[in-house]
Amino acid sequence: MGRNSIRIGRFFGIEIAIDYSWFIIFALVAWSVGSHYFLAYGDWPLAVKIAAALATALLFFISIVIHELGHSLVAIRTGIPVKSITLFIFGGVAQINREPEKASHELFIALTGPLTSVALAGLFALAGLAGRFLGVTVIEAAGGWLARINLFLALFNLLPGFPLDGGRVFRAIVWGITKSRSRATRIASFLGRAIAWGFILLGIWQVFSGNWADGIWLAFIGWFLDGAARQNARQDTIDRQLKGHPAREALQSDCAPVGPNLPLDRLVAEIIMPTGRRCLPVMDRDRFLGLVSVETVKKVPRDEWPATPAAAAMVPAAEVETVSPSDDLSDVMNILTEKNSEQAAVLDEHGAFLGLVTREGIAAFIRIRSDLGG
């Protein structure tokens, strides 16, 4: 979970959180529904309008969570772990920790979200019809609005702009035809940026036409989509630069081993401060016990450092991410991203500690290769 989000629960093993920016869009949606859509129902008391607007906005965002859960559950079925779903100002995003292995998996994952939204639109339409039949105008009005907005959500997400669902469907099709995920990603990202700039230009035109509220919102959506498409293109570039290179090529082997009984005050003064190393292996002779880092040391009160050995502040070996020296660096980077870890310990086939592979070291490896034209 990010520092700017609030955890609200867990469904099917997936954390659900709300980013602080979500409260802005929730308030705007509730205000828009209450002051515009429900305006036709002038005979409602003010308290009913406010309650109906808040409930309708909440159901809309629950619909977004269900949309993302649709993606996530299919991803899990294909063996891809999903860490969390977060609601924020632009909607919802599922943190799917790695790319699908097959084009067919990508296609199924991408299509599930819009199909889920279409199903929700149908359910809310039925609820609206039931409200009309029963003479309950609140249910009729809310059901009708939620049916239309979920249908719009499905259609909007099917635009072929990567990383929207439609863009991922497009990438899956190109991937299936070309047999190259990298090439498909580049093509889909280019199309995604073109559509994003279409939104931005349309938004600017709307602003100069006097419709500044819708124009600014469209431009912001375009800006967000453009940034997401560029981020996906960068990630693809990184994957291509790392693919085929074993972990040993980015191995940090000059790790100063730390004895398990070394007090933390000496660890900081004699090793961390002079060397600048933020993470160190704790070794008992040749046996790897775990990793002690600046972050784990900071969890111990400073006045307890002289009496606290390194072993008491380390992450035990059983909890440390480990890889072999022959593992592909692109896979190592995926592991670090999936586990939200800064480093992995590299162990040989006998379990002997060889060194660390860190995010910083992988970034340096990429920079050197780029500088040398590799």
The whole-number pLDDT of residue 137 equals: 87
Q: Are 139 and 55 in contact (CB under 8 A)?
A: no
Tokens, residue 73: 């559950």
| Cα–Cα distance, 37 to 140 (Å, whole number) | 12
The whole-number pLDDT of residue 3 equals: 59
| Cα–Cα distance, 124 to 191 (Å, whole number) | 33
In single-letter form, the type of residue at position 26 comes to F
Domain ranges for the chain, please list them: 5-242, 247-371
Q: Are 180 and 115 in contact (CB under 8 A)?
A: no
Q: Are 321 and 335 in contact (CB under 8 A)?
A: yes
| Cα–Cα distance, 330 to 247 (Å, whole number) | 9
Q: Which residues contact 354 (CB under 8 A, 6 or more apart)?
A: 248, 251, 253, 325, 346, 347, 348
Q: Which residues contact 65 (CB under 8 A, 6 or more apart)?
A: 16, 85, 87, 92
| Beta-bridge partner residues of 309 | 263
Exposure string (b/e) for 99-112, b if CB count within 10 Å is 16 or more? bbeebebbbbbbbb
Q: Nearest 5 degrees, angle CA 273-CA 278-CA 279?
A: 125
| φ/ψ (deg, to 5) at 137 | -65, -30
At 301-340, the pLDDT tens digits run 999 999 999 999 998 988 888 889 898 888 888 778 777 7
Tokens, residue 306: 């002289």
In single-letter form, the type of residue at position 288 comes to F
Burial of 211 (0-12, 13-18, 19+ CB in 10 A): middle
The whole-number pLDDT of residue 374 equals: 54
Q: What is the pLDDT along the chain (374 residues), one digit of tens a residue?
A: 555 678 888 888 888 888 888 888 888 888 888 877 887 776 788 888 889 899 999 999 999 999 999 999 999 988 888 888 888 776 778 877 677 888 999 999 999 999 999 999 999 999 999 999 998 888 999 999 999 999 999 999 998 887 789 999 999 999 999 988 888 888 998 999 999 999 999 999 998 988 887 788 889 888 988 888 888 888 778 888 888 889 888 888 777 788 999 999 999 898 888 887 778 889 888 788 988 988 889 999 999 999 999 999 998 988 888 889 898 888 888 778 777 778 888 888 887 888 888 888 888 888 887 766 65
The whole-number pLDDT of residue 90 equals: 67
User: Which CATH fold would you assign to the domain 247-371?
Assistant: CBS-domain (3.10.580)
Q: Whose CA is closest to 71, among 84, 59, 56, 89?
A: 84
The whole-number pLDDT of residue 242 equals: 84
| Cα–Cα distance, 139 to 116 (Å, whole number) | 21
| Cα–Cα distance, 240 to 181 (Å, whole number) | 10
Q: What is the pTM of this model?
A: 0.73
The string of DSSP letters for 267-311 reads HIIIIIHHH--SEEEEEETTEEEEEEEHHHHHTS-GGGGGG-BHH
What Cα–Cα distance (Å) separates residue 230 from each residue in 185, 188, 223? 11, 11, 11
Coil, strand or helix at 243: coil
